[in-house]
Amino acid sequence: MPELPEAETVRRGLQAEVSGRRVVSAAATGIRSVRRHADPGEVGRRLAGHRVVGTRRRGKYIVAVLDSDQALVIHLGMSGQLVLLAPEDEPPRHTHVTLELDDRRRLLFVDPRTFGELFVTAPPAPGAELAELAHLGFDPLEDRVGPAEFARRLSGRRVGLKALLMDQRFVAGIGNIYSDEILFAAGLRHDRTSDGLTEPEARSLHRAMVTTLRRAVEHRGSSLADAQYRDIYGVPGAFQLRHRVYGRAGLPCRRCGGPVQRLRWSGRSTFFCPNCQR
């Protein structure tokens, strides 16, 4: 599933290519992809004729702000892609939403597994978050939650570290890939509890979280073997080449040389080094 670095990479592509462009028309052929709207045609009616004036991101959600003060919100789900096509290009299979832009290019929402979604929503009150995103925790790259505040929030919870990092109500944008990479960088096991960390360990976890996510954004996210994640140009990410534990079961740890282990946790795979993570 695309996580914060992949969503940020897509957002940057949208900012570069779509911000300032007017949506000439929009059509949704996949009802599940626009499921928050009772009438799929509402998406086209609310987008047509309006210009994208900017983009932002909250965790895994991408927000395109319109000149109507409405917002187009996009969540890529497990297999969603935003693809920018020239007029002569054929749309790929599983295209569920098509936005025609004023330069004749098309922005497509492609999603084979249909867990992703798009919706248009009204503007929030001044200084408030969109109502649909208000449940999310802090964004580790956008919000000012420093090491001391992060340590305080950890100490108030008694939850396994991986579960807490993946709890979108606590911190927005981290999933299975980056929770494993962050915990390895911090030298902490996934099953340590948040209230049991020392102050230096909590600060180390904060530093690992911010540094890992920033590095992943620099390398345009991670594309795994299924190649589901690509940016708006169809180019895969490169951070998977720098994974230190995720997807590397049985391979030598890049730090100590011992074998990386994999176990099942809450129906997911967890990768870690038993020597380097305590």
Given the residues 11, 57, 58, 60, the one annotated as active site: 60
The reply to whether 192 belongs to the active site is no
Q: Is 162 a catalytic residue?
A: no
Task: Provide CB contacts within 8 A for 257, sequence distance 6+.
Answer: none
Q: CA 39 to CA 188: how far, in whole Å?
A: 48
Span 129-173, pLDDT tens digits:
999 999 999 999 999 999 999 999 999 999 999 999 999 999 999
With 0-12 / 13-18 / 19 or more C-beta atoms within 10 angstroms meaning exposed / middle / buried, residue 57 is buried
Question: Does the annotation mark 268 as catalytic?
Answer: yes
| pTM confidence score | 0.96
Quick: pLDDT tens for 70-108.
Answer: 999 999 999 999 999 999 999 999 999 999 999 999 999
Q: What is the CA radius of gyration of the chain?
A: 20
% of the chain beyond a pLDDT of 70: 100
Does residue 147 carry a catalytic annotation?
no
Closest CA to 6 of 73, 82, 71, 64: 82
What pLDDT is recorded for position 238?
97
Q: What is the pLDDT of residues 219-265, one digit of tens each?
A: 999 999 887 899 999 999 999 999 999 999 999 999 999 999 999 97
Amino acid letter, 55: T
Give the active site residue among 45, 149, 268, 274. 268
124's CB contacts (< 8 A; 6+ apart) are 130, 131
pLDDT of residue 233: 97
Residue 268 in this model has a pLDDT that exceeds 90: no
β strands within the chain, DSSP E: 23-28, 52-58, 61-66, 71-75, 81-85, 95-101, 106-110, 117-121, 261-265, 268-272
